[in-house]
Amino acid sequence: MKITSFNPLIVTKDLEGVARLFETLGFEKCHNPAGESAIGNEYTSYRMTDANGFHVDVATSSGASEQDFTGIRMNVDDFDEAYDFLIARGFINGQNGTVTETCSAKACMLFSPSGFGINLIQHLK
Protein backbone atom coordinates (compact mmCIF):
# COMPACT_ATOMS: atom_id res chain seq x y z
CA MET A 1 0.00 0.00 0.00
CA LYS A 2 1.31 3.41 -0.96
CA ILE A 3 -0.06 6.62 0.57
CA THR A 4 -0.41 9.14 -2.27
CA SER A 5 -1.63 12.11 -0.19
CA PHE A 6 -2.34 12.86 3.45
CA ASN A 7 -4.00 16.01 4.77
CA PRO A 8 -6.55 17.46 7.22
CA LEU A 9 -10.28 17.07 6.62
CA ILE A 10 -12.99 19.22 8.19
CA VAL A 11 -16.62 18.06 8.04
CA THR A 12 -18.97 20.93 8.86
CA LYS A 13 -22.53 22.19 8.39
CA ASP A 14 -21.01 25.56 7.32
CA LEU A 15 -19.17 24.48 4.17
CA GLU A 16 -19.01 27.92 2.56
CA GLY A 17 -18.01 29.73 5.76
CA VAL A 18 -15.13 27.35 6.50
CA ALA A 19 -14.01 27.41 2.85
CA ARG A 20 -13.98 31.24 2.94
CA LEU A 21 -11.78 31.15 6.04
CA PHE A 22 -9.23 28.99 4.25
CA GLU A 23 -9.43 31.23 1.16
CA THR A 24 -8.38 34.17 3.36
CA LEU A 25 -5.40 32.02 4.41
CA GLY A 26 -4.38 31.64 0.75
CA PHE A 27 -6.08 28.37 -0.18
CA GLU A 28 -8.01 27.97 -3.42
CA LYS A 29 -10.78 25.52 -4.27
CA CYS A 30 -9.32 23.11 -6.83
CA HIS A 31 -11.78 20.20 -6.83
CA ASN A 32 -15.45 19.96 -5.84
CA PRO A 33 -16.73 16.38 -5.57
CA ALA A 34 -20.37 15.86 -4.59
CA GLY A 35 -22.74 12.94 -4.51
CA GLU A 36 -24.33 10.33 -2.28
CA SER A 37 -22.48 8.01 0.09
CA ALA A 38 -23.10 4.28 0.29
CA ILE A 39 -25.41 4.87 3.29
CA GLY A 40 -27.46 7.54 1.50
CA ASN A 41 -25.92 10.75 2.89
CA GLU A 42 -25.60 13.59 0.41
CA TYR A 43 -22.14 15.19 0.50
CA THR A 44 -20.30 18.14 -1.02
CA SER A 45 -16.59 18.72 -0.62
CA TYR A 46 -13.87 21.19 -1.55
CA ARG A 47 -10.29 20.09 -2.05
CA MET A 48 -8.31 23.25 -1.33
CA THR A 49 -4.64 23.93 -2.08
CA ASP A 50 -2.31 26.81 -1.25
CA ALA A 51 0.76 28.15 -3.09
CA ASN A 52 3.05 25.90 -1.02
CA GLY A 53 1.21 22.75 -2.10
CA PHE A 54 -0.54 22.21 1.23
CA HIS A 55 -4.04 20.73 1.09
CA VAL A 56 -7.14 20.84 3.27
CA ASP A 57 -10.48 19.22 2.52
CA VAL A 58 -13.67 20.91 3.68
CA ALA A 59 -16.86 18.87 3.39
CA THR A 60 -20.48 18.80 4.43
CA SER A 61 -22.79 15.83 4.67
CA SER A 62 -26.47 15.40 5.35
CA GLY A 63 -25.33 12.96 8.06
CA ALA A 64 -22.96 15.43 9.75
CA SER A 65 -23.57 16.45 13.35
CA GLU A 66 -24.04 20.05 14.43
CA GLN A 67 -20.44 20.15 15.70
CA ASP A 68 -17.55 20.19 13.22
CA PHE A 69 -15.47 17.04 12.89
CA THR A 70 -11.77 17.13 12.08
CA GLY A 71 -10.02 14.08 10.68
CA ILE A 72 -7.50 13.00 8.08
CA ARG A 73 -7.89 12.35 4.38
CA MET A 74 -5.63 9.54 3.23
CA ASN A 75 -5.42 8.71 -0.46
CA VAL A 76 -3.90 5.33 -1.28
CA ASP A 77 -3.06 3.32 -4.36
CA ASP A 78 -4.80 0.15 -3.06
CA PHE A 79 -8.03 0.75 -1.13
CA ASP A 80 -8.62 -2.88 -0.13
CA GLU A 81 -5.11 -3.33 1.26
CA ALA A 82 -5.31 -0.07 3.25
CA TYR A 83 -8.83 -0.86 4.48
CA ASP A 84 -7.77 -4.31 5.70
CA PHE A 85 -4.65 -2.82 7.33
CA LEU A 86 -6.69 -0.30 9.33
CA ILE A 87 -9.50 -2.73 10.24
CA ALA A 88 -6.86 -5.19 11.55
CA ARG A 89 -5.67 -2.41 13.86
CA GLY A 90 -9.08 -1.82 15.40
CA PHE A 91 -10.52 0.83 13.08
CA ILE A 92 -14.29 0.70 12.58
CA ASN A 93 -16.10 1.46 9.34
CA GLY A 94 -18.21 4.56 10.05
CA GLN A 95 -20.53 3.80 7.14
CA ASN A 96 -22.13 0.72 8.69
CA GLY A 97 -19.68 -1.57 6.87
CA THR A 98 -20.30 -0.04 3.44
CA VAL A 99 -17.89 1.59 0.99
CA THR A 100 -18.84 4.48 -1.29
CA GLU A 101 -17.92 3.75 -4.91
CA THR A 102 -18.25 6.22 -7.76
CA CYS A 103 -16.92 6.14 -11.31
CA SER A 104 -13.76 7.92 -10.09
CA ALA A 105 -13.16 6.84 -6.48
CA LYS A 106 -13.65 4.30 -3.73
CA ALA A 107 -13.95 5.78 -0.22
CA CYS A 108 -14.97 5.16 3.36
CA MET A 109 -14.74 6.93 6.72
CA LEU A 110 -12.95 4.81 9.33
CA PHE A 111 -12.62 5.55 13.05
CA SER A 112 -9.69 4.52 15.23
CA PRO A 113 -10.21 2.89 18.63
CA SER A 114 -9.38 6.27 20.23
CA GLY A 115 -11.87 8.12 17.99
CA PHE A 116 -9.95 9.96 15.26
CA GLY A 117 -11.22 9.54 11.72
CA ILE A 118 -9.53 8.69 8.46
CA ASN A 119 -11.35 9.28 5.20
CA LEU A 120 -9.73 6.51 3.15
CA ILE A 121 -9.82 7.13 -0.62
CA GLN A 122 -8.50 5.48 -3.74
CA HIS A 123 -8.92 7.36 -7.00
CA LEU A 124 -9.78 4.98 -9.82
CA LYS A 125 -8.13 5.43 -13.18
Three-state SS string across the chain, please? CCEEEEEEEEECCCHHHHHHHHHHCCCEEEECCEEECCCCCEEEEEEEECCCCCEEEEEEECCCCCCCEEEEEEEECCHHHHHHHHHHCCCEECCCCCCEECCCEEEEEEECCCCCEEEEEEECC
Mean pLDDT of 73-82: 97
Residue 125 clears pLDDT 90, i.e. is over it = no
Residue 103 clears pLDDT 80, i.e. is over it = yes
56, 22 in Cβ contact below 8 A?
yes
Q: Write down the pLDDT at residue 30.
A: 92
Q: Give the total residue count for the chain.
A: 125
Q: How far is Cα 36 from Cα 53, in angstroms, rounded to an integer?
A: 28
The three-point CA angle 94-100-103 to 5° equals 165
**pTM for the full predicted model:** 0.85
* Per-range mean pLDDT, top range of 42-46, 101-105, 116-120: 116-120
Name the percent of the chain lying above pLDDT 90.
Answer: 79
Q: Write down the pLDDT at residue 64.
A: 63
pLDDT digits (tens, 9 = 90+) for 30-76: 988 888 888 888 989 999 999 999 999 999 988 767 799 999 999 99
Q: Write down the pLDDT at residue 91.
A: 98
